[in-house]
Amino acid sequence: MHVEFKSKTSANHREYKNKWYGEQQAALHVAGADYPLPFKVNVERGHEYEPGQYNLAGDSFGTDQHGNLRLNRVRIGSRISAPPPLPKG
């Protein structure tokens, strides 16, 4: 399972504890799913993720009171790949 960012742009900025945060668009790629699942990641302004594919950190997951797997806070892990270069012309 991995997360993909297509753009470094963030939106909907707001201040929290003297820092500015925004939302960056991402997509979750799940094995066996027909399409990626879009979602937003809160990021500090100036610390947006570069476009590319990233592992989803293992501590993003937990279990509920019945032992079922659930997604906790999304934590982005290491970068897998950068997007391909744009064609010249």
pLDDT value of position 32: 85
pTM: 0.68
Task: Round to whole Å and give the CA distance between 68 and 51.
Answer: 32
pLDDT at 87: 62
Cα dihedral sign for 17, 76, 39, 46?
Answer: positive
Select the more confidently predicted residue: 56 or 72.
Answer: 56
Residues 77 and 55: their CA atoms lie apart, in Å, by 5
Give residue-wise pLDDT tens across range 22-68: 888 888 888 888 888 888 888 888 988 888 888 887 777 777 788 77
User: Which of 29, 32, 38 is closest to 7 using CA atoms?
Assistant: 38
Give the residue with greater pLDDT, 85 vs 13.
13
pLDDT at 83: 64
Residue 18 has what pLDDT?
Answer: 92
